[in-house]
Structure 1
Amino acid sequence: MTIICPYCLSELSERAAACPQCGGRFEGRNPVGTLPVGTVLGGRYTVGEIEQVDGEGILYRGAENHGRFRVTIKEYLPLTLAAERGTDATLRPKLGSEVLFKTTRMDFADLYRSIQRITPANGLEAVLDVFEENNTVYAVMENPGGVPLGRWLETHPGRLSPEQVCAMLQPVFDGVAAMHQVGLVHRGICPENIRVLENGRARLTGYATVGLRTAGSGLHEQLYEGYSAPEQYSTTEFEGRYTDEYSLAAVVYRMVCGQSPVPAAQRLVSDSNPRARTLEPSVPEYLSEVLWLGLKLKPVERIQTVPQLFKALTSREYTEELTRSLPRPAPRQLTQPDEEQKQHMLSLRNLLAAILVLLAILILLMLWGMVSQGLHTATPPAASSSVSAPESTELEEPVTLAPNFVGMDYDAQVRNNHNYVGDYLFYVTMEYSDTVEKGKIIRQEPEAGDVIEKGGTVSLVVSKGPQLVQMPDVIGFTQEGAVSELESRGLTPSCFMVVNDGSYAAGCVVSCSVDAGTSVEVGSVITVYIAADPSVEITAEPPAASDSNSESSASSGETPADDTQ
């Protein structure tokens, strides 16, 4: 078994108290109950010093022994459920917490294995390996480098334009969208978990299970004031894609305004969060409107998806369209003082109405007496040759207004719904959409609230979901040719250099993360592996292209190519 120094990555002949090369000490560097520096996990990863501790586990600095590159290692160790670790490093649950310990450990493993399957995705910290040992689970991740976004903002004072913000965060938006496509929700998006790399592009880190990011779950929760969504403060509220949308909107708010939004828990009591344009007048009006919609407390009134948010941040026209499609907030419910004031006003109105009725009756009685007296004293007029017929009144037919079908599932909620089928005729057309779920109604004509006759026709546009394209065969293409071919089909290439022993033409495509002929969504990230020049020494590796070749690529010594496309 190879033993290396986690500090300088030099190979050691045997376990020692310190590295003979750099002098770095191993003993006593990590607290009791955690893994000592120099511990080897899975036969290939060396544990370094502790970097961070949360309610779910411990994050260690580490190294991969075969390829000699730095990694981070997350150990599942829930503080509220785990007992003290023995000298054999085996982790044991507390008495009475065995079931919850086991289920949350399974959640931890499932989360990181799911992320491993979608990375390398642009903007996400790649998960390289997940394995079980010491009665717990370990997730090994790449070391992305860079600095946290919060620290980057402190060292780069001044207003950021919307264009700068979107360019920096686009990889993060893409990564979160990739998580959502496989049913994952991050729940921890904040400046602390976004790292800005040397090339100015951002990458998202800080994965965690739902228990860590929800108050009252049984774990010692980790929420981020100003960035965690309102639904994360209650175990009775459902969390979804709109939860990450709230957090991303909060990050953009911080970047353009210079301060974080008011924490959601405080806003639920009294919503005093100012609009972005109020804090920073230079923020465009449409951008201020987007952030206001993105930070709505009620999920149903909020922008629903990350692609919708990003598109709105970059398009005034789309913002106007999105504003019209979102549900309007429900009328404000009256508080107790409001109710009392309302009852008081109603009492005054009733009293005034009664007085007016009595006065009207008195006046009518007086007029009737005067008229009756005149009839007895005056000569009756001749009868008119014609009698005026009372004016006829036309009865207005009830007006029918078109229901709101936008956002409804056509097959499940409209097509066979007897409340609609007997009253309207539907003309349906299908349309691709990156923002509206397949089967949901995008728009209608006439619009909701417009007058429509009974039995009238309603035109509905139903989403076909994201557009699919066929993955082209780019094996053997030059890097430039492969990038051009993929982009022409609406796909996003992400290129990595791999070691070339002379078997491949330098600068040409060796393999891709998706097989040729496979149907993929437009906008999907395709990892393209490029053969390096045989004379170039490569010491780092990219994440694996798939589960089947993850083991082989981990020891091949690959490194990212110029990934600026």
Structure 2
Amino acid sequence: MNENLCMGCMRDKGEEEVCPFCGYSDTSPRFPSYLAPRTVINNRYVVGKVLSYNGESVTYIGYDVIGERKVKVHEYFPDTLVTRGEDGKSVAVNNGRQIQFKAYMSDFIEIAEKLSRMRTLTCITQVFAICYQNNTVYSILEFVEGISLKTYLEKRDVMLTWTETSDLLLPLVKTLAIVHEEGLIHRGISTDSVILSRSKMVKLDGFAISAVRAARTELVAELFPGFSAPEQYSAVSPHGPWTDVYAVCALLYTCVTAAAPPEALIRSNSRPLLPPRERNETVPPRVSQAIIQGLSLSTTERIQNVEELLAKIGGPFQKGAVGSDAPTVSMRAQPPSRRPTSTLPRIPMEAERKQEEKEEKDGGNKRLILWSMGITLPILLVILIFTFWFLFGKDRHKEPEGDTTSIVDSMSENDPFRGESEFHSSSDRSESESSSSQSSEESSESSESKQMHKVANFVGQDYKTVTGNPENQKLYIFDPPEYVYDEQYPEGTITYQSVSEGTEFEKTMSIKFKVSKGSSTVLIPPYEKKTQAEYTAKLDELGIKYTILYRWDSSYPEGYVVGTDHMVGSKYNTQTGGTIEVYVNKAPPANSVD
């Protein structure tokens, strides 16, 4: 084994005491209940630092010295039933806990064996081996280089479109249908257990026995607020595929709304969830309705299985090849054919021959017509040009027979009326030219004295900029504006003008605007790690009406907000919205009865 192998990331750190890649040091403190780094399992798998733990098991980063790859070492270690042996490796079962220890170990092994038989399903974390050692059992899992869906969504910091969400998660959901067929229920699907690999493949991780995913058992429960179904908080309600349906729909809801549903314990039928489509218009109505139905608090009203869910959100599900990333729709192979098939009825051969002859004849007629038109059209065009020139071009160069100039020119020079006629003609032309000139000058003066303006389009512009413009102040008289809430325009933007664009006016125009006060809709702010005073101050700032209710939860500091009846990030209308409930952690009086 490489002595320079870092037990934090399983990379060669050289002679460095602190790993330059992950910052891990062999001198870092550790819990004695867990295996010491560099412990070897089955003479092959080197155990590193602890990655995670729950009431059922501990997961370590590991290294396969034969396969020369990173792995995860998953140790069955129910800490309420066992302790670590004095050798630091073996597992010692507590007195009176042998039956539960063996029963849960049997469940642990069954899950590992079923997953190992489904290694062709690439959307779930693979099980490479199962090892029995140290009075317990280990499953050796695939180590996926990537990030959790939770981290991915936090980095995106924006709700995904339905297309993005379906492309990302539907392959996993289809794979889950096959997992259910094998009798496995996950019970822990959440943004923490879905991993996005560096190759952009989605992996479902975190399978565990049922006892650790339910309240009030001998093991410490591992539940995921917002994703765990309401029956998981009960010791008597049955689990089934519908339990995973709830978690999957919570997953879809989180992606398209950028906020997880409230924890099932604080949800109420009297205050239904806001449908995803009301927050994200890219979600189709049928999908939005299916997600809400999948998040039903009632197990009987909820969508019962993944196949039914897929039919509602992604089309009917049919199981395909198990080795694919996601089940595919199976199709019956078609026999080869020399000619493409058609949906039209087949024409009998004789009728088809006659139809072809008719089409050939019609084609010949069409060609004859086109040929005739090709000859006739140029001839007609020449005739039209000649006619046009004859009627108009000829007269332009020859004076008309009835022209008065010709008559005057034909008179004798001694005609007493000749000079008079010429005089009157010249005089009339002068008067006409003078009158025309005078009319033009008057028109010009009138045009200059009556210059017209057109009303501009001010909608969408900033009110202060428009009214502060000196050019606008010369042309318009601005009446006091009307301020209104408007979802489309930012605060201070003109949303309406009393005079239409293009209206003409001579000197000044009186005009009135409606100006946006901004959106009346705000988003419910996050409450995590906020005291009652801090959170209510934020609500007051946003104009959100609220009421305070006190609840006791030992896992939160007293005086801190633990939830609201409205989902964080959901829309709230400050004009028409009601009062939201804010839940604050507060211990009950010492003499009170729970």
Instruction: Give the TM-score normalised by the residue count of structure 1.
Output: 0.53
Match of 1:61 in 2: 61
Residue 286 to residue 45, structure 1, CA distance change in 2 (3 Å) = same
CA distance in 1, matches of 2:286, 2:174: 22
Q: Cα distance, 1:283 vs. partner?
A: 3.1
Residue 75 (structure 2) aligns with: 75
Deviation by residue 1:450-479 (Cα, 9 ceiling, x = unmatched): xxxxxxxxxxxxxxxx6xxxxxxxxxxxxx
Per the TM alignment, residue 6 of structure 1 is displaced from its structure 2 partner at its CA by 4.8
8 Å contact from structure 1 (residues 130, 140) kept in 2: yes
Partner of 2:150: 150
Equivalent residue runs for 1:274-289 within 5 Å:
274-289=274-289
Q: Matched residue of 2:166: which SS?
A: helix
User: Which runs of structure 2 are paired with 1:243-392 in the superposition (5 Å)?
Assistant: 243-267=243-267, 271-315=271-315
Between the aligned partners of 1:262 and 1:21, the Cα distance in structure 2 is 40
Instruction: For residues 33-73 of structure 1, give each alpha carbon's deviation from its aligned partner in whole angstroms, at most 9, with x where no partner exists.
Output: 21111010011000011111211121101110112110111
Summarize the Cα distance change of 1:21–1:289 in structure 2 as closer, same or farther, 3 Å threshold.
closer
Structure 1 residue identity aligned to 2:321: L
Change (3 A) 1:132 1:119: same
In the TM superposition, residue 305 of structure 1 has moved relative to its aligned partner by: 1.6
- Which residue of the partner structure matches residue 52 of structure 1? 52
Question: For the Cα contact (< 8 Å) 1:6–1:63, is it kept in 2?
Answer: no
**Aligned counterpart, 1:119:** 119
Give the letter for the 1:126 counterpart: Q
How many angstroms does 1:207 deviate by? 0.9
User: How many residues of Structure 1 are paired with residues of Structure 2 in the alignment?
Assistant: 328
Deviations, residues 401-430 of structure 1 (Å, cap 9, x unaligned): xxxxxxxxxxxxxxxxxxxxxxxxxxxxxx
Deviation at 1:314, TM superposition (A): 2.5
User: Once superposed, which parts of structure 1, at least 4 consecutive aligned residues long, lie more than 4 Å away?
Assistant: 1-4, 6-12, 16-25, 268-271, 492-495, 520-524
Question: What is the CA deviation profile of residues 339-360 of structure 1, one whole-angstrom value per residue up to 9, with x for unaligned ones?
Answer: xxxxxxxxxxxxxxxxxxxxxx
CA contact (8 A) 1:146 1:196 kept: yes
| Cα 1:491/1:111, change in 2 over 3 Å | closer
Displacement of 1:258 = 1.4
Aligned to 1:558: none
1:182 aligns with 2:173: no
Distance in 1 between residues matched to 2:34 and 2:185, nearest whole Å:
29
Map 1:25-44; keep pairs closer than 5 Å: 25-26=25-26, 28-44=28-44
Q: Work out whether residues 59 and 75 of structure 1, in 8 Å CA contact, stay in contact via their aligned partners in 2.
A: yes
- Which residue is equivalent to 1:491? 321
Q: Name the SS of the counterpart of 1:118 in structure 2.
A: coil
Deviation at 1:175, TM superposition (A): 2.7
What one-letter code is carried by the residue in structure 2 that aligns with 1:214? Answer: A
Structure 1 282/20 Cα, relative in aligned 2: closer, same or farther at 3 Å?
Answer: closer
> Structure 2: which 5+ residue stretches go unaligned?
332-594
SS in structure 2 of the partner of residue 43 of structure 1: coil
Report SS of the residue matched to 1:236. coil
Decide which moves more: 289-298 or 154-163.
154-163
Determine the C-alpha separation between the residues in 2 that align with 1:175 and 1:127. Answer: 16
**DSSP-derived class of the 2:46 partner:** strand
**1:20 to partner: Cα distance:** 11
Q: 1:186 to 1:123 in 2, by over 3 A?
A: same
Q: 1:117 to 1:28 in 2, by over 3 A?
A: same
| Residues 118 and 178, structure 1, Cα contact 8 Å, conserved in 2 | no
What does residue 324 of structure 1 align with? none
1:312 aligned counterpart, secondary structure: helix
For residues 474-508 of structure 1, what are the alpha-carbon distances to aligned partners after superposition, in whole Å with 9 as ceiling and x for unaligned?
A: xxxxxxxxxxxxxxxx536549xxxxxxxxxxxxx
Partner in structure 2 of residue 100 of structure 1:
100
The CA distance in 1 between the partners of 2:53 and 2:103, in whole Å, is 20
Identity %: 28
Shift of residue 182 of structure 1?
Answer: 0.7
Structure 1 residues 4 and 107: alpha-carbon distance in aligned structure 2, compared to 1, 3 A threshold: farther
Q: With a CA cutoff of 8 Å and minimum separation of 6, indicate the structure with the bigger relative contact order.
A: 1
Aligned to 1:241: 241
In 1: Cα distance, 2:27 partner to 2:57 partner: 21
Give 3-state SS (helix, strand or coil) of 1:211's partner: helix
Q: Secondary structure at the match of 2:61?
A: strand
For the Cα contact (< 8 Å) 2:160–2:258, is it kept in 1? no
State the 1:28 CA deviation: 5.0
Tell me the equivalent position of 1:164.
Answer: 164
Pairwise CA distance, 1:279: 3.5
Q: In 1, are the aligned partners of 2:6 and 2:19 still within 8 Å (CA)?
A: no
The amino acid of 2:156's aligned partner reads H
Displacement after TM superposition at 1:4 (Å): 7.7
- Name the aligned partner's letter for residue 119 of structure 1: R
Instruction: Note the alpha carbon deviations across 1:345-377, whole angstroms, 9 max, x for none.
Output: xxxxxxxxxxxxxxxxxxxxxxxxxxxxxxxxx
Equivalents in 2 of 1:269, 1:216: separation in Å? 24
Return the alpha-carbon distance in structure 1 between the equivalents of residues 77 and 48 of structure 2: 17
CA distance in 2, matches of 1:35, 1:84: 9
The Cα of 1:106 is off from its aligned counterpart by 1.6
For 2:83, what is the secondary structure of its paired residue? coil
CA distance in 2, matches of 1:9, 1:197: 18
The one-letter code of the counterpart of 2:100 is: L
- Are 1:148 and 1:194, in contact at CA under 8 Å, matched by a contact in 2? yes
**1:263 CA drift (Å):** 1.5
How many angstroms does 1:168 deviate by?
0.6
Taking the aligned partners of 2:302 and 2:38, their CA distance within structure 1 comes to 48
Q: Structure 1's 271 and 134: CA in aligned 2 closer, same or farther, altered over 3 A?
A: farther
Which whole-Å CA distance do the structure 1 matches of 2:19 and 2:80 have between them?
Answer: 39
Shift of 1:144: 1.2
Question: How far apart are 1:153 and its partner, in Å?
Answer: 0.7
1:173 correspondence with 2:173: yes
Residue equivalent to 1:506: none
In structure 1, the residue corresponding to 2:138 is in which secondary structure? strand
